């Protein structure tokens, strides 16, 4: 009896999909994940959401129940971070600069 209960619980947990990774495109009112589904902006959490623009491709994690989504990656977007090097152009002259700090 115990083994059957363990098997049932194990099968449930394997099939419950407690979280889900999804791809989407940022639109004006949320993230479009399919032709039929756009996730409203109110359900999108996390700090990366403030750095997205319309038409950005994003990777989202959906929590169990589908009531919250977290943007975990903005695909093909480079970020300037402390210690990285950036190229800046002034009057046609391009120079490399090391980033010492990033202030929002």
Q: What is the pTM of this model?
A: 0.66
Query: What is the predicted pLDDT for the residue at 17?
Result: 67
Q: Could you tell me which residue, 3 or 10, shows the higher pLDDT?
A: 3
Single out the residue of 43, 44, 72, 37 nearest to residue 58, CA to CA. Answer: 72
Q: Please tell me the predicted confidence (pLDDT) of residue 101.
A: 85
What is the spatial distance between Cα 22 and Cα 43, in angstroms, rounded to a whole number? 14
- Binned at pLDDT 50, 70 and 90, residue 29 comes out as very high
- State residue 83's pLDDT score: 87
Question: Residue 21: beta bridge partners?
Answer: 61
Task: Count the Cβ atoms, other than its own, within 10 Å of residue 4.
Answer: 8
Count the neighbouring beta carbons within 10 Å of the beta carbon of residue 69: 24
Dist. CA 88–CA 56, nearest whole Å? 24
Name the pLDDT band for 63 (thresholds 50, 70, 90). confident
């Amino acid at each position: 009896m115990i083994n059957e209960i363990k098997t049932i619980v194990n099968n449930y947990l394997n099939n419950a999909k407690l979280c889900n990774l999804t791809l989407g495109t940022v639109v004006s009112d949320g993230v479009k994940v399919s032709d039929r589904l756009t996730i409203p902006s109110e359900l999108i959490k996390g700090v990366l959401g403030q750095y997205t623009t319309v038409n950005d491709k994003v990777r989202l994690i959906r929590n169990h129940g589908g009531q919250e989504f977290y943007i975990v990656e903005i695909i093909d977007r480079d970020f300037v971070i402390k210690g990285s090097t950036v190229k800046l152009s002034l009057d046609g002259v391009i120079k490399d600069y090391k980033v010492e700090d990033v202030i929002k």
